[in-house]
Amino acid sequence: MLSLVKSVWPLTDSVDRRQSDARGEHAREHKATRPPGVGEAHIRWVPLLRSLSEADFARQFRHPELGMVRLDRNLALYAWHGKHHVAHITSLRERMGWR
């Protein structure tokens, strides 16, 4: 969910400003009426990402730990992070003998 919000920031705001609600053309088209769960977030996120131009993916936001991050880099980090979690779960299942 947080990565979805971080994706909206550079599309709707200047780099130095953050808002609690999503504004802008992309955000209005894909805004949820309530906070979505992970599956719902992905369902809403995919059309947003597919609607972005190359210039949109080059937009940046200020990440609290990494500093200025391009949207395309944040998306790559999100994909890696998901695989990282799956690897932890898979390793635990093997170690514990769970099927």
- Res. 96 pLDDT band, cuts 50 70 90: very high
- Using DSSP's 3-state secondary structure scheme, residue 59 falls into coil
- Please, are residues 61 and 71 in contact by the beta-carbon 8 Å criterion? yes
Number of domains in the chain: 1
- Res. 19 pLDDT band, cuts 50 70 90: very low
Summarize the confidence of residues 74-86 as an average pLDDT.
90
Summarize the confidence of residues 72-90 as an average pLDDT.
91
- Res. 56 pLDDT band, cuts 50 70 90: very high
Alpha-helical segments (H) within 1-99? 2-12, 25-30, 38-50, 54-57, 71-96
Q: Which amino acid is at 36?
A: P
* Residues, the chain: 99
Taking Cα atoms as reference points, which of 5, 9, 10, 8 lies closest to residue 59? 10
| This prediction's pTM | 0.62
| Structural domain harbouring 11 | 2-96
> What average pLDDT does the structure give for the chain?
77
pLDDT of residue 81: 87
